[in-house]
A and B are shown apart, each in its own frame.
Chain A
């Protein structure tokens, strides 16, 4: 943070080519989560039993010390470098690792700040690569300004070789960049206010930050209301109701204690969702869609154009009454580490909650055409899917396939044909009896599948025969001739 930090951080900025260290305070940030747990544990122990707390305290302090020492050692042996379009990270004391991340393969780059990191002005840089198993590169932690700058540099470097190596995305990169050039917000209006609202998550806005065009900003009040009216909220209501009836039946407030784990879990889930999606701002910039969100832990993410594998529109029952919906995108990338599992199971929400008009505008930004699911499922599908039949439909044009299903929660998924990895035709025993079959389109990403559910068997065969050809045409079109 201070003079010591200035020495080790690439403040001079433009040369990332030499070897750099992470920020000296990063062990503290990394230990932050465990530290908090241990502090809570110590406090609980301290208040629970006064005797014997002393020895526990010593043990815990020892634990903290070991943890920090481990962090310091790992900081000492970690260094990174950007050269020749490759980010290299060397780490490990006993098991030395040298990681190479070719920037042309980068799918997205996130800047993540945990609460403690935010207080210290640090941030973590996460590279998302395409591989489904390998974990992406992580640089934890860097000073925020450096992290922002490094991200911009990496993205621009990623685009430069990408024009040669990864032809497909480079062409599509032209699309949003051109549109971004049109109604550019002057750097005093909405674009800038979006950053100001974000508590300086973007640091000192450099020149190309001003080129952003604000697309969406979530309303905090609506987000809170939406979470309460979502599944999480329903579960919370059930738990509270169960608690109330238990208290009413037994007449002892003490029974609430047995519900405590559930209650805590619910509170955590609600908090995680609110924290993660609070203040979501989406803006279009030359290097892709910029996505920033978070209350305590802030995340800034750039989704490169042409890397969106699927777009999904989710409309739960209660939200439909208000005309609200949620828009998610899937980007190819690894299923993330354990600590982020809750994040990785959900898709990234571009619009945590918004009106249909918001969603339509965003979809227009993401997709070049927007086919609607117009072909309803045949009547016999009612027997196989009595509920989901209501919204069961699909549609396509020569670029995209869209499939929708659901009754309580309507889910509509758009998949670009050029991204389709494989097509599957599936017929279960019930479907065979009814003369139906489903076709699934797999894309790279977190197991998103567009499922064209319950079509007439002949039609499903026709789809299976036609789609691979359409997909290969779309791929050829996306690639430069």
Chain B
């Protein structure tokens, strides 16, 4: 858990306008004001990764250690911890890739490192918006905002928003959606 605490003293700034550290620029970015999730998202993701890796390593180590040999069990546990640490290296980049932009008629969301995605969802197409917060997110005062359209394939969500920010954005989007609503 010490990793999570270290991340705690990151910069407190939220809603950083446009390119920050590790925020990959795209050629089409001109004129788009990207906003970023809260920096605490990284901590949330780290805690989540630790919560998966720790028990998994422990269980695998115990299972192998008790049934096969102690050395192998230690090895298996360490291997899983190493895998967790490796994925932690990628987490920072993945978290940094998230961004969203409120434009005049639509909301734009970008994410992904290996597979980069940008979604444009017109406000008038939003069917409903939900805000969820899992236990880890809740303990850090974060929430995930998800927009649903009539198309099942549309996938626009913004994780790691400040809870107040998420509520504000939700109301804002709902109002915009109502104003621009279009029939199917």
A169 partner residues in chain B, CB cutoff 8 A: 183
Please give the distance in Å from A303's CB to the nearest CB on chain B: 13
Q: Contacting B153 at CB < 8 Å: which of A166, A440, A475?
A: A440
B151 partner residues in chain A, CB cutoff 8 A: 421-422, 442-445, 447, 449
Whole-angstrom distance between the alpha carbons of A468 and B156 in the complex?
A: 15
A427 partner residues in chain B, CB cutoff 8 A: 115-117
Residue of A440, A465, A472 contacting most chain B CB atoms (<10 Å): A472
Is the C-beta of A307 less than 8 angstroms from some C-beta in chain B? yes
The chain A residue sitting closest to B120, CB to CB, is A423
A292-331 interface code vs B (CB 8 A; 1 in, 0 out)? 0000000000000001010000000000000000000000
Interface of chain B residues 145 through 184 with chain A (CB within 8 A) = 149-156, 182-184
A417-433 interface code vs B (CB 8 A; 1 in, 0 out)? 01111111111110010
Is the C-beta of B27 less than 8 angstroms from some C-beta in chain A? yes
Whole-angstrom distance between the alpha carbons of A469 and B182 in the complex?
A: 14
The chain A residue sitting closest to B32, CB to CB, is A465
Is the C-beta of A458 less than 8 angstroms from some C-beta in chain B? yes
A155 partner residues in chain B, CB cutoff 8 A: none
Please report the number of residue pairs spanning A and B whose Cβ atoms sit closer than 8 angstroms: 104
A147 partner residues in chain B, CB cutoff 8 A: none
Task: Count contacts on B: residues with CB < 8 A to the other chain.
Answer: 27
Please give the distance in Å from A473's CB to the nearest CB on chain B: 10
Whether A468 contacts B115 in the complex (CB less than 8 A), given A130-B184, A307-B184, A458-B27, comes out as no
Contact B182 A168 (CB under 8 A): yes
Please give the distance in Å from A448's CB to the nearest CB on chain B: 8
Task: Count contacts on A: residues with CB < 8 A to the other chain.
Answer: 43
Whole-angstrom distance between the alpha carbons of A444 and B183 in the complex?
A: 11
Contact A471 B150 (CB under 8 A): no
Contact B184 A464 (CB under 8 A): no
Q: Contacting A428 at CB < 8 Å: which of B115, B118, B121, B183?
A: B115
The chain A residue sitting closest to B113, CB to CB, is A429
Is the C-beta of B26 less than 8 angstroms from some C-beta in chain A? yes
The chain A residue sitting closest to B155, CB to CB, is A424
Is the C-beta of B122 less than 8 angstroms from some C-beta in chain A? yes
Whether A447 contacts B152 in the complex (CB less than 8 A), given A168-B183, A422-B122, A422-B125, comes out as yes
A104-134 interface code vs B (CB 8 A; 1 in, 0 out)? 0001000000000000000000000010100
Whole-angstrom distance between the alpha carbons of A106 and B26 in the complex?
A: 42
Whole-angstrom distance between the alpha carbons of A462 and B30 in the complex?
A: 11
Is the C-beta of B106 less than 8 angstroms from some C-beta in chain A? yes
Is the C-beta of A200 less than 8 angstroms from some C-beta in chain B? no
B18 partner residues in chain A, CB cutoff 8 A: none
Q: Contacting A472 at CB < 8 Å: which of B105, B114, B153, B155?
A: B105
Please give the distance in Å from A305's CB to the nearest CB on chain B: 13
A445 partner residues in chain B, CB cutoff 8 A: 151
Please give the distance in Å from B56's CB to the nearest CB on chain A: 27
Mark A residues whose CB is within 8 Å of B: 107, 130, 132, 166-169, 307, 309, 332, 418-429, 432, 440, 442-445, 447, 449, 457-458, 461-462, 464-465, 467-469, 471-472, 475, 479
Mark B residues whose CB is within 8 Å of A: 26-28, 105-106, 114-122, 124-125, 149-156, 182-184
The 10 closest A-B pairs by CB, nearest first: A461-B28, A444-B150, A442-B151, A421-B151, A422-B154, A425-B118, A421-B149, A168-B183, A423-B120, A442-B153
